[in-house]
Amino acid sequence: MNFNRAVIKVGSALVAPTSDGCSGQYTLAIAQFITTCQQQGREIILVSSGGVAAGRTVIQHGSPKLSLSTKKAMSSVGQMQMMANWQRFFDVPCSQILITQDDLADRERFISIQETIKIQLANGVLPIVNENDTLTTKALSIGDNDNLAALVAQACEADSLFILSDIDGVFTKDPNINDDAVLIPNIDKITDEIYAMAGTSRNPLAMGGMKTKIEAAEKAVEHGINTYIINGTKSEVFSSLLSQVNPGTRFAADKQIITAKKHWLKHTLKSRGKIKLDSGAVNAIVNKGASLLPAGIKSVTNRFKAGDAIDLIDAQNNTVVAKGITLYSHYDLKRIMGKHSNDIIATLGHDYGEVVVHRDDMVIL
């Protein structure tokens, strides 16, 4: 389990384990591990939760179920405390990088994040990434820092992702209520059975449970990144990691890696519409690696514009078979669906190409 560049995700339960805000109870050992890795020439990117938990001591609230506005206010205050809590453990400078879903969905901004982090690493800076909760308009948009960490690991071209929380890893059953639950040390393939083992978080300040950690692992391993779920409350796990011993659950990286662009398309872009395809188009896309032509489209759903991501659906069984970037808007597609490509100009008075979704802008699901 040797690694050269790793993303380490630290959960709220480790950053702010009590109602008193940030502390060094667990983060000190994590910081010592990061420092040792840096001294060995390894590059580390830290994805840290805890802004909301840290701000909880400052912003008044009357319920354990917080409103979005209250969480945003807490995060705005707590980010300062969280960063100060991390910086005090390091002699190297730390940077703060706040990201929203829109930043990841926009290809140029995605690449900008990638370049910024690489330059910081080259200059000995420890990048500390978090979601920009204060600016998000939906319920903490990306939803959790587990999945954010997986997307950051992809952007940084990391070879390993360590998800630290207050749990040992993936168990055959919920270990909190089942004495016969057994830790699974290695998972070679993420299946429905693996997801079925996932419980939910019992921490009211945490956004994700085991399910989000498995989702994050699935994103990372598809990009060739070994992923580990580890209990960060136990300082001895870091000695194990440095000794190349797996103290938790390891998800093995896929040997067949999808391209960075298709990984971004599959996991980051949100679909804005749906189009249903006939069986011929489905067969051509799934089995022959073909682009989508207007002749294979049976119906168009929702409003979207050219350049948006859309789901491609098998009309026969109503299942999503692919996701891609459309060259035509919903309005144009409703006019040209079912027609041959050489009829596009005559129908629309213009064209953006003979295909609706090019195979290079498509990922099979």
The pLDDT, as a whole number, for residue 334 is 94
CA 59 to chain centre: 29
Summarised one tens digit per residue, pLDDT across range 83-115 is 999 999 999 999 999 988 778 777 788 888 888
Nearest to residue 328, comparing CAs of 88, 320, 347? 347
- Rounded Cα gap, residues 255 and 271, in angstroms: 27
Tokens linked to 57: 């001591």
CATH superfamily of 270-364: PUA domain (2.30.130.10)
The pLDDT, as a whole number, for residue 167 is 87
Average pLDDT over residues 129-135: 80
DSSP per-residue string spanning 229-245 = EEETT-THHHHHHHTT-
- Rounded Cα gap, residues 207 and 141, in angstroms: 11
Residue range 5-262 forms a domain whose CATH class is alpha beta
DSSP per-residue string spanning 260-279 = HHHHHHHHTSPEEEEEEE-H
User: Binning pLDDT at 50, 70 and 90, where does residue 72 land?
Assistant: confident
Tokens linked to 223: 């990009």
Nearest to residue 249, comparing CAs of 204, 206, 177, 197? 197
- Rounded Cα gap, residues 144 and 207, in angstroms: 5
User: pTM of the prediction?
Assistant: 0.71
Residue ranges of E strands in the chain: 5-10, 43-48, 94-99, 126-131, 160-165, 186-187, 226-231, 249-251, 271-277, 297-301, 309-314, 319-325, 362-364
Q: Where do the structural domains in the chain lie, given as residue ranges? A: 5-262, 270-364
Q: Report the length, in residues, of the chain.
A: 365
- Rounded Cα gap, residues 213 and 146, in angstroms: 6
How many CB atoms neighbour CB 136 within 10 A? 19
User: Is the CB of residue 299 less than 8 Å from the CB of residue 276?
Assistant: yes
The pLDDT, as a whole number, for residue 313 is 95
- Rounded Cα gap, residues 216 and 201, in angstroms: 15
For residue 84, give the H/E element and its range.
helix 68-87
What lies within 8 Å, CB to CB, of 118 at 6+ separation is: 156
Summarised one tens digit per residue, pLDDT across range 243-258 is 989 999 999 988 766 6
- Rounded Cα gap, residues 152 and 149, in angstroms: 5
pLDDT of 139 > 90? The answer is: no
Summarised one tens digit per residue, pLDDT across range 195-226 is 888 754 444 444 457 888 999 999 899 888 99
The pLDDT, as a whole number, for residue 206 is 44
Q: Quick one: angle between helices 145-155 and 260-267, nearest 10? A: 160
User: Is the CB of residue 13 less than 8 Å from the CB of residue 207?
Assistant: no
Single-letter residue type at 223: H
